[in-house]
Chain A
């Protein structure tokens, strides 16, 4: 039988339906579709897909198990290298990682590795009865700062080897960006909670409401008997454009807007944490966070949502799938546009007018692409006299973050680069003895899977350092 040249389509909620709810957009493969898709894997000898995965999941092996109908076996293969399969199957950019290396992809569409991974993880979560148990302790204690993807991965890998691991989380719920940043419709929070529960079953101690750098310092963690510390504190302070009007009411950072909706559940009926709903919304930026913010605003009831990005579609950094989903849902992409000022209401007759200080619009200027910059990306240049006003009530700035200084400022000898990112070796070791780091705290805003890769590398290095003691 000839191989199907295309991946099996992912069943999704219809755009006109999902634009009004927070349920997951992609519904996942059925067992039948998964079996058919698995057959597209050639199980080739050189396994290029594995090298494309930051945590080196044994992809052909798990797909072979699917072909055999052994879904739990497939899960166990993934579980050997990845601590968060249900998460990765949803949010990894497979098109630029494993699937970009797939041999099938040379002449046809690559195997839908991410979709198969998600199927296997969801099958396990729905059907597996056996809970993981904590292995015998090796007596070594490790502290992990932050419970995002890098921290959870590092914690999971070390716990499986018998380390006594404590994870310290500043917020009230574990999961980091998986909980406060990525919306429910892309990654249901019940899935994150389940992954955290799995780690707890492995013996990982998760302590919320502890801000390292404030409640405790890295040095105090060593005083408490931890022999190694991994810093996975994530990206921090949101960037703004420094244009007039950014302090008006109705201007959010994407972090604030998404945190209000995701972590604080402002999207539910009768929320206790307020958020501006409805009206016309402009999201400034072109990354995955911008897509998440725009699609969240739409689901909260916005009449019209713009993405305002200063370059063209070709340079837009968000995943294609997210961009396509956003377009299907009706998000209005205003490319080659750059904001210059946010306008606010001001009633000169009445300084107590309750509408004073709220956003009424955003001045933008049209851009064109000029000469390539040092990185080879064509630089956007403003077109003279092309300013116009976008009629909006809410503006969400999704233009990146700068590292949080709390840990750097309280940890003597911890070196950072001029962007504030922690400097590490290939193994994730910082300038401080027995302190490792990884994820956005090192690289600046990046992907979930690259953070997981860094957590994994550090876990291996920590194991080598402590077992040699």
Chain B
């Protein structure tokens, strides 16, 4: 059992928790993820590590309440316990030799993008961050991003806060103005990462995308998280859990990944509704 050391609601649908897991806290690096189960009968869900405190032995996770399991997790309070917490899994984000980076985060993906931005900032790289949200009330981690970015651009889809538009708009402006980056790292919805990649392509800037497919074991055993890279015209199968979660954006077959992500759409929606009803009953 793993104790919830702290809990904070970042916005109405996004929650931050610190979980006591000293072995994971000792090892986790930006870009890696963990897998948890809320209770004995629970499903295994992957969540990217949003920070660690090795001294307190805690790992920070930030999750959006999108399904039955995240709903159940959000129902737990500080001081309570979750059943299982394993990690760190996956390969950390590559930081070697990067002097200037553009971090592009979208929605709850910003929770993963923030520690990556922080890592580059700590290594002395120049960090330009673009973070986008659907609207003002979904904004998270603005102050944290500001603290570790040399420049921060906040976007909202509906114009309810900061600049109106999506994240590719300022990215394109910068690239067209001749600004260069050693790499662009983008974390967020698949559709956003696809368009960030397409925006960068004419300028030849490398793009790293963070993939978060459906997973079960997370250790390279089941193959459920597979995705396709197109390398030299050939389709190559990779496993996000051991080969990723970071991949070269120019090689990822996004359309296939988006299709696979919807495999259990009906099941998940139904399970979420049931859980909501169950929790309402408990209140």
A247 touches B43 (CB 8 A): no
Indicate the member of A236, A273, A357 with the most B CB atoms within 10 Å: A273
Assembled-state Cα–Cα distance A165/B242 (Å): 28
Assembled-state Cα–Cα distance A16/B138 (Å): 55
Residues of chain B with a CB closer than 8 A to A236's CB: 220-221
Report the nearest A residue to B226, measured CB to CB: A247
B63 interface residue, CB < 8 Å from A?
A: no
Assembled-state Cα–Cα distance A272/B89 (Å): 23
Chain B nearest CB from A321 CB (Å) reads 26
B87 touches A211 (CB 8 A): yes
Residues of chain A with a CB closer than 8 A to B44's CB: 172, 264, 273
Assembled-state Cα–Cα distance A246/B223 (Å): 11
A406 touches B271 (CB 8 A): no
B237 touches A255 (CB 8 A): no
A265 interface residue, CB < 8 Å from B?
A: yes
Assembled-state Cα–Cα distance A246/B237 (Å): 9
B254 interface residue, CB < 8 Å from A?
A: no
A215 interface residue, CB < 8 Å from B?
A: yes
Q: Which of the 9-residue segments A29-37, A237-245, A294-302, A378-386 touches chain B?
A: A237-245
A348 interface residue, CB < 8 Å from B?
A: no
A215 touches B259 (CB 8 A): no
Task: Tell me the residues in window 247-278 of chain A with beta carbons closer than 8 Å to chain B beta carbons.
Answer: 247, 249-250, 252-253, 255-256, 259-260, 263-265, 272-274
B224 interface residue, CB < 8 Å from A?
A: yes
B42 interface residue, CB < 8 Å from A?
A: yes
Residues of chain A with a CB closer than 8 A to B266's CB: 354
B201 interface residue, CB < 8 Å from A?
A: no
B43 touches A273 (CB 8 A): yes
Chain A nearest CB from B191 CB (Å) reads 13
B96 interface residue, CB < 8 Å from A?
A: no
Task: Tell me the residues in window 51-82 of chain B with beta carbons closer than 8 Å to chain A beta carbons.
Answer: 68-69
B222 interface residue, CB < 8 Å from A?
A: yes
Assembled-state Cα–Cα distance A56/B93 (Å): 49
Assembled-state Cα–Cα distance A352/B138 (Å): 26
Residues of chain B with a CB closer than 8 A to A216's CB: 23
Residues of chain A with a CB closer than 8 A to B237's CB: 240, 242, 246-247
B216 touches A264 (CB 8 A): yes
Indicate the member of A170, A209, A252, A259 with the most B CB atoms within 10 Å: A209
B46 interface residue, CB < 8 Å from A?
A: no
B86 touches A215 (CB 8 A): yes
B256 interface residue, CB < 8 Å from A?
A: yes
Given A172-B84, A211-B89: A260 in contact with B216 (beta carbons within 8 A)? yes
Given A170-B86, A253-B223: A354 in contact with B216 (beta carbons within 8 A)? no
Given A209-B84, A274-B268: A240 in contact with B223 (beta carbons within 8 A)? yes
B86 touches A209 (CB 8 A): yes
Residues of chain A with a CB closer than 8 A to B259's CB: 249, 356-357
Assembled-state Cα–Cα distance A255/B219 (Å): 12
Residues of chain B with a CB closer than 8 A to A249's CB: 259-260, 262-263
A416 interface residue, CB < 8 Å from B?
A: no
Residues of chain B with a CB closer than 8 A to A209's CB: 84-86
Report the nearest A residue to B258, measured CB to CB: A357
B85 touches A272 (CB 8 A): no
Contact indicator per residue, chain A 210-252, by CB within 8 Å of chain B (1) or not (0): 1100111000000000000000001011101010001101101
Report the nearest A residue to B268, measured CB to CB: A274
A318 interface residue, CB < 8 Å from B?
A: no
Task: Tell me the residues in window 23-46 of chain A with beta carbons closer than 8 Å to chain B beta carbons.
Answer: none
Residues of chain B with a CB closer than 8 A to A214's CB: 27, 87-89, 219
Contact indicator per residue, chain A 169-186, by CB within 8 Å of chain B (1) or not (0): 011100000001000000
Residues of chain B with a CB closer than 8 A to A252's CB: 223-224
B220 touches A265 (CB 8 A): no
Residues of chain A with a CB closer than 8 A to B23's CB: 210, 215-216
B41 touches A272 (CB 8 A): yes
A237 touches B27 (CB 8 A): no
Assembled-state Cα–Cα distance A11/B228 (Å): 48
A431 interface residue, CB < 8 Å from B?
A: no
Residues of chain B with a CB closer than 8 A to A52's CB: none
Assembled-state Cα–Cα distance A444/B263 (Å): 31
For the complex of A and B, list the 10 residue pairs with the smallest distance between their C-beta atoms, beginning with the closest: A357-B259, A256-B222, A253-B223, A209-B86, A238-B223, A274-B267, A274-B264, A172-B84, A249-B263, A272-B43
Known: A211-B86, A255-B222, A260-B216. 8 other contacts (CB 8 A): A172-B37, A209-B86, A214-B87, A240-B237, A252-B223, A259-B217, A272-B68, A272-B271
Task: Give chain B's interface residues, CB within 8 Å of chain A.
Answer: 23-24, 27, 37, 41-44, 68-69, 83-89, 216-217, 219-224, 226-228, 237, 239, 242, 253, 256, 259-260, 262-268, 271
Between A and B, 6 residue pairs with Cβ closer than 8 Å are A170-B217, A171-B217, A210-B23, A214-B89, A237-B220, A357-B260
